[in-house]
Structure 1
Amino acid sequence: MAAPSPGPREVLAPSPEAGRRVATSSSSRGGLLWRLRDKQPRLGLFEIDPGHELHRLTCMMQAGLWAAIQVSIDHPLLGPPTEEDFSEVMTQVQEGFELGTLAGPAFAWLRHSLGLAEKDYQASLGPDGPYLQFLSTSKSKASFFLSHDQRFFLKTQRRKEVRALLAHLPRYVQHLQRHPHSLLARLLGVHSLRVARGKKKYFVIMQSVFYPASRISERYDIKGCEVSRWVDPAPEGSPIILVLKDLNFQGKTIYLAGPQRSWLLRQMELDTAFLRELNVLDYSLLVAFHCLHKDERGPGSSLVLRTARTLRSSPLAPPSCCPPLCNGNCHALQADHELH
């Protein structure tokens, strides 16, 4: 299934100094803001510093993304994306590499509709801080990164996966507009990276389901099966954070009642029906737990963490007094699907 394309256009990066910013980013970390942020715990996450084997790759990603997002800042879309916007391919030439942006205007409009400011998006993904790497329990050979603020998730993809994603993109955008409180993962951009005349590498950008992560104690990737769905937990006291699986979840119970239960079941029906229409079989329910403080417990309490996405007014929106998924006692929970 080939991704639609009116033909690529090649442009120079709008900000040549972006590449130089990457090279000097390590020397500009002396500011108070950086030092305060760098002291925050990042358990199980590893900074991709100059000694890391992926440092050069991520520096190119940061410089390229900074320039690509600047284009959408300078030329904002004034209305809903057209068919041409969904098929646009823009290639920006940087020193030593080129970054491709696929369906850039369509994704920029989607980000705007989700309440995400382009300047914030650029600051998170640009060279203001090193990307983070974490240990993945996925069986795929994909590489996984987090932005320095852990707000956005980057994952390498195969070419055929990117083609399928772009073919489904118009319907995906339409689904999120109809159901802004959907549990589907928020896909925010698709890009390619080629060094010199080498082979293109593709990657996608998603909003991190596990953001903010400061109080999350357990993370699960639930697929509804038991085959190869066990992960050896990290030793007690270990700084490594693992995403556990179905068999690790056995013996745990999530209790939902009333409006929370009806909303969750209905929204999952809508999302799974959408995936079925696309003939997409691979999915995950991502679940995160965090312990509530004493004053956050009890049926009358509303001081709990919410999901990262913005929920809009809708007949199917969850009750405003609590997050979309919460058992009201000792844990709050976040969930999302992963669309492949």
Structure 2
Amino acid sequence: MQSVFYPAGRRLLELYDIKGCEVDRWVEPVSEGGSIMVLKDLNFQGKTIHLGPQRTWLLYQMELDTAFLRELNVMDYSLLLAFHQHQDGERPQAGSLPQTSSTRFVQGTQNLEEVAAQNYHLLSGRPHAPNILDGPEQRYFLGLVDLATVYGLRRRLEYLWKLLWYSGRNFSTVNPTRYARRLCQWVEAHSD
């Protein structure tokens, strides 16, 4: 987690472990004596990641990253999400970020020159890493974690058991294609 949140650790307001599902995805918020508690999907209900023009980049990057993990047959990873309020000098300047349309990415057009131009603003000449996105009011820290669970026989059996036990509910153990799609849909539904 430190690699995702560096250097803002103590300034973080909220921290979430997001899988895009509902079963066992609520944590009772309790003060832990000054340390920040890791909340889950259901704790994020009613909230939005406000990114403005950078939303397009995030949606596309989520598509790329989850497609890579899907190819590796990996599931059960999480989007680690935290944020803090902008302080002096952190707020992005109006018009400093490129305006783009996310529809071309969702429809599958992948012109490498367009992608390079899109991502250039995050990879070069920026004061922080690509996993840090500045919205109008807050700075967001995002990263995929827990990338080691392969969808093998054990997970397939777990899926069948949960299908019976949690009939009609959205649980974490699903095949990598469905897992990737669900997490991307969560990010799209919870960002603007």
TM-score normalized by the length of structure 1: 0.32
User: Among 225, 229, 232, which residue is 2:25 paired with?
Assistant: 229
Amino acid at match of 2:119: A
CA distance in 1, matches of 2:49, 2:134: 6
Shift in Å, 1:208: 2.6
User: Among 32, 38, 63, which residue is 1:269 paired with?
Assistant: 63
- Give the 3-state SS of the residue equivalent to 2:38 in structure 1: coil
Aligned counterpart, 1:242:
37
- Offset from partner CA, 1:205-254 (integer Å, 9 cap, x none): xx63222213212111010011111111123x832321111111111111
Go from structure 1 to structure 2 and tell me whether the alpha carbon gap of 1:247 and 1:288 turns closer, same or farther (over 3 Å shift): same
Unaligned runs of 5+ in 1: 1-152, 154-206, 303-313
- Give the 3-state SS of the residue equivalent to 1:319 in structure 2: helix
**Percent of counterpart pairs with the same letter?**
55
Of structures 1 and 2, the one scoring higher in RCO (CA 8 A, sep 6+) is: 2
Aligned counterpart, 1:203:
none
Given that 2:57 and 2:119 are in contact with CA atoms closer than 8 Å, whether structure 1 keeps it comes out as yes
Aligned counterpart, 1:293:
87
Given that 2:50 and 2:136 are in contact with CA atoms closer than 8 Å, whether structure 1 keeps it comes out as no
Aligned counterpart, 1:210:
5
> Is the helix fraction higher in 1 or 2?
2
TM-align CA RMSD: 2.8
Given that 1:290 and 1:333 are in contact with CA atoms closer than 8 Å, whether structure 2 keeps it comes out as yes
Deviation beyond 6 Å, 4+ runs, structure 1 = none
CA distance in 1, matches of 2:29, 2:95: 32
Given that 1:295 and 1:301 are in contact with CA atoms closer than 8 Å, whether structure 2 keeps it comes out as no
CA distance in 1, matches of 2:141, 2:13: 12
CA distance in 2, matches of 1:261, 1:318: 15
Shift in Å, 1:276: 0.7
Count of residue pairs the alignment pairs up: 122
TM-score normalized by the length of structure 2: 0.54
Equivalent residues in 2 for 1:68-83 (5 A)? none
CA distance in 2, matches of 1:218, 1:330: 14
CA distance in 2, matches of 1:292, 1:279: 38
- Give the 3-state SS of the residue equivalent to 1:286 in structure 2: strand
CA distance in 2, matches of 1:280, 1:269: 14
- Give the 3-state SS of the residue equivalent to 2:64 in structure 1: helix
